[in-house]
Amino acid sequence: MAQVANTFETYDATGNREELANKIYNITPHETPFLSLIAHRQVKTVHPEWQTDTLRTPVTTNAQPEGNDWTFDALTATTRIGTYTQIADDKVVVSRTQDKTDSAGRKSELAYQVAKAGRELKSDIEVQLLSNTASQAGSGNGATNRQSGGLRAWIATNDDLGGGGGASGGFNTSTNVVDAATNGTQRAFTKAILDSVILNTFNAGGNPTVGMVSPYVKTVFSSFLDDANIVPSRQNVTMRGKRALIASAEVYVSDFGDIMFMPNRQMARAGAAVARNAFLIDTDMVSYGVFDDIKLHKVAKTGDAEKRVLNTEYCLLAHNEAAHGCAADLYGLSASS
């Protein structure tokens, strides 16, 4: 139908009010499951250290004669290892005028931006703790900064590597820093890879209870339900009287204990460098070292604006890396990346 001639419509009007919802919709993931999972411990120096030790290999020949004249084996010293704390910050500056302006979705622009920065800072810490970042002592005058080694860099005993020159990192007793691992050729996550890492970790003495993976790798883990060697689920699940399809698995009941698999959205947000690794974590053997917890600093005014800085100093304390495992070099974001 044709419009009536000379109809005055919204396209012609100049006095219509704008409508802006008094809410900000932000669904960017900000949860930090690894940071929430592990214990937080106070550290008092920028170079926390600890010691690890191992027992000798058991033998079947320990049968001694009567009246034995003992000889003594040389003892082995403990291994002294450590890391460095890392300073992280997030900065906000908002003009006085903008902070006093009546804004939709927040009473104060400054308060809103500070809260947002806090979530971003915690997300940075989450992916740093899981990363393949080497530790470094840093140097004076800001030439280089201290850095804490990430979990992927720490794990060297029980990492299942892809081909193409992949190599373990781990603590380097010659340089006293944690070396980053060398990435290998990416491959699909399989039950065989998972079983291999679990077995190696158990043999090394670890008892991992959590598997932490990217969301895509979690979907691959759930597809293990189709494996011929997996006992099929026979539970009928209903939701509000409706039959439900079971397409998810959360717990892997292995020969050596139950492992709860947790998807970590920050691993995907950080990209393939972090998402390519699936971790088996013994929560008793890793913690978050806090030298200085997150604090809000009100910076001196140098203009007609308000400045705030959030900062913290922290490190990853991998008490014994052999307690953990890593299925490395996986397709972590998709079937080909």
Which residues of the chain register pLDDT less than 70? 227-228, 231-240
The tens digit of pLDDT for each residue in 200-235 reads: 999 999 999 999 999 999 999 999 877 667 766 655
Enumerate helices (H) and strands (E) in the chain, giving the number of each: 8, 16
106 vs 289: CA distance, rounded Å: 34
Whole-Å CA distances, 19 to 14, 22, 40, 109? 14, 9, 46, 19
pLDDT in the model for residue 272 = 96
For residue 253, give the nearest of 217, 206, 211 by alpha carbon.
Answer: 211
1 vs 8: CA distance, rounded Å: 17
The tens digit of pLDDT for each residue in 86-126 reads: 999 999 999 999 999 988 888 899 999 999 999 999 999 99
283 vs 336: CA distance, rounded Å: 31
Whole-Å CA distances, 5 to 10, 67, 91? 15, 121, 57
Residue 330's SS3 state is: strand
CA dihedral 163, 164, 169, 172 (to 10 degrees): 120
For residue 95, give the nearest of 305, 257, 308, 311 by alpha carbon.
Answer: 305
pLDDT in the model for residue 185 = 97
